[in-house]
Amino acid sequence: MTRPLGASTFIWTSPMRDEELWLCGHLAQMGFDVIEICVETPGMLTAPAITKAAADAGLAVSVCGAFGPSRNISSEDETVRAQALDYLRHCIDLAAEVGSPHVAGPMYSATGLARPLPPHERLAERERAAEGLQVAAEYARRAGVTLAIEPLNRYETDMINTVEQGLSLCQAIGAPNVGLMLDTYHLNIEETSVGDAIRLAGDRCLHVQASENQRGIPGAGHVPWQEVKDALDDISYAGSIVIESFIPTIEEIARAVSLWRPVAPSSDELASTGRAFLASLEGGVA
């Protein structure tokens, strides 16, 4: 099975804006099928501009969110939870307008919260996350969009680190249009077996991001890529595989993901070399 390959706008820029949509043509020239657009500042991106740029380049669009402290749907602060829902509704509307099948990301909390909470506080936090995401899931269902929840490693969240925990949250939300986004970087840190974790996700796996163990070029580290491919084949995953990485010159993101050095000679080399590796792994044209 040869799956569509994509690249995240985070590899080149942040925050993404209409003026940076030249990246659509750039990705197409590299041979990508999908552009993953990260919605950090909603007012900087418009659906008509995205739709035209992607169509002109022959690319599909994937939408992912950015979840900082003001977008924490599990917060004790009702105002913050409301802001998180408003943001998710915006991302869902954008996804529906540009043809993205999903909104993806760690939408259950704020990235970077890693605390040793007492059990009762942790349970209450998860219950607030599930309650808020139930509302978001119903809104997404009416728009024809799925929610792909991303487990993150223990240094970036204390809530959902593993596929098992992600599936538990999906069950608590109880909506058929909610599943998981699996990122090889986080899987490689948190799972005992990357392949078994993917198989456990099964048909709840809605989206996949590819990154190396050091968040660099796929194929240049020790992520068990053949195991990843075999497991995706076993669950008949037919969605896209999107390379996600970051550039350390963007200080806010670098701080959030603890990126203190370049992980590739350039953004273009990370994307093009990574794509060639993934295409070869998938059995397509490098």
> How far apart (Å, rounded) are the C-alpha atoms in residues 182 and 186?
8
- Spatial contact of 129 and 82, defined as CB atoms under 8 Å apart: no
Look up residue 101 and give its amino acid: P
Give phi and psi for 247, each to the nearest 5: -110, 135
Question: What Rg do the C-alpha atoms of the chain give, in angstroms?
Answer: 17
Q: Are 132 and 73 in contact (CB under 8 A)?
A: yes
Dmax over CA atoms of the chain, in Å, equals 52
Cα distance between residue 263 and residue 285, in whole Å: 25
- 150 labelled catalytic: yes
20, 36, 40, 150: the catalytic one is: 150
Asked about 282 being catalytic, the answer comes back as no
CA 278 to mean position of chain CA atoms: 17
C-alpha of 83 from chain center: 20
**Strand pairing partners for 34?**
6, 60
Instruction: Provide the pairing of β-strand 241-243 with 205-210.
Output: parallel
SS3 assignment, position 240: coil
Task: From the candidates 20, 190, 191, 244, give the one annotated as an active-site residue.
Answer: 244
Retrieve residue 271's tokens: 């994307």
Please list the active-site residues.
150, 244
